[in-house]
Amino acid sequence: MKDGKTEVTIFGQANGLYTIVHNKKTFDDMAGHWAQKDPETLASKLIINGMADRTFAPGVNTAAKLGLVQGVGEGKFSPDTVITREQMIVMIMNAVQLVQGSLYGSSISHSICRSSQYF
């Protein structure tokens, strides 16, 4: 802080134009949620957007459409229910395989996913 103004010095290997953005983002629907900090930090850095200006609307539907989760049955999800280590591993493996372009590419994750009652 210098003369009431924020002063920033940037050291870099290349010349260029740099922009500093202060964009404190909060989502009313995330207030008090255990994961509130992460989406608000990412939105403040302009990495993600909410569904509306002050509404995040967590992406359970997106995760289901991508095949990362399959719900608890009968088209229902329980996003605040505690999950098992097995269920977390299935979601992690599904995410890895999605990024690699081969969701359900291995028979191990496919059989674990089929045996899980949560997904």
The pLDDT value given to residue 1 = 67
Answer yes or no: is pLDDT of 103 > 80.
Answer: no
CA 100 to chain centroid: 18
Answer yes or no: is pLDDT of 109 > 50.
Answer: no
The DSSP secondary-structure symbol of 28 reads G
C-alpha triplet 51, 56, 60: angle, nearest 5°: 90
Interval 61-97: pLDDT, tens: 777 888 888 877 777 777 778 888 998 898 898 888 8
Percentage of the chain surpassing pLDDT 70? 82
Mean pLDDT of 51-70: 81
